[in-house]
Amino acid sequence: EAGVAQSPRYKIIEKRQSVAFWCNPISGHATLYWYQQILGQGPKLLIQFQNNGVVDDSQLPKDRFSAERLKGVDSTLKIQPAKLEDSAVYLCASSLAAGPTDTQYFGPGTRLTVL
């Protein structure tokens, strides 16, 4: 079974530039998560999708971050414009559903550096 795919793996941009990340979850997984992991911290949930609908985006900085999952499969996360404090690893995860017994499978992450 193929895992969660993310691209790019690394991205370096200057502040105020825009950037987009892509995630392809495991086939058949209805729930998709985007996390931000700052160095030395645990992952922080940015947004959770159930199929193509948003379940939780309470911690997404909506003035600069946006995400979509138009066809309920792959997803993009965009930052526009980027700030220095956005430097982090952006992790995508997916699960069959969102229940307490559903294991989340994580992608390799995209390491973003904002200069």
Partner 1 sequence: KNEVEQSPQNLTAQEGEFITINCSYSVGISALHWLQQHPGGGIVSLFMLSSGKKKHGRLIATINIQEKHSSLHITASHPRDSAVYICAVLGFGQGNLIFGKGTKLSVKP
- 33 makes contact with partner 1 (CB under 8 A): yes
Which CB sits closer to partner 1, 80 or 85? Answer: 85
Closer to partner 1 by Cβ: residue 28 or 42: 42
CB 26 → partner 1: shortest distance, Å? 13
30 contacts 73 by C-beta, under 8 angstroms: no
Among 42, 53, 63, 71, binds partner 1 (CB under 8 A): 42
DSSP-derived secondary structure for the chain: ----EEE-SEEEE-TT--EEEEEE--TT--EEEEEEE-TTS--EEEEEEETTEEEE-TTS-TTTEEEE-TTSS-EEEEESS--GGG-EEEEEEEESSSSTTPPPEE---EEEEE-
Pick one of 20, 81, 105, 113: the residue that binds partner 1 (CB under 8 A).
Answer: 105
Options 44, 51, 80, 84; binder of partner 1; rule CB under 8 A:
44
| Positions in the binding site for partner 1 (CB under 8 A) | 33, 37, 40-45, 48, 55-56, 89, 91, 93, 98, 100-101, 103-109, 111
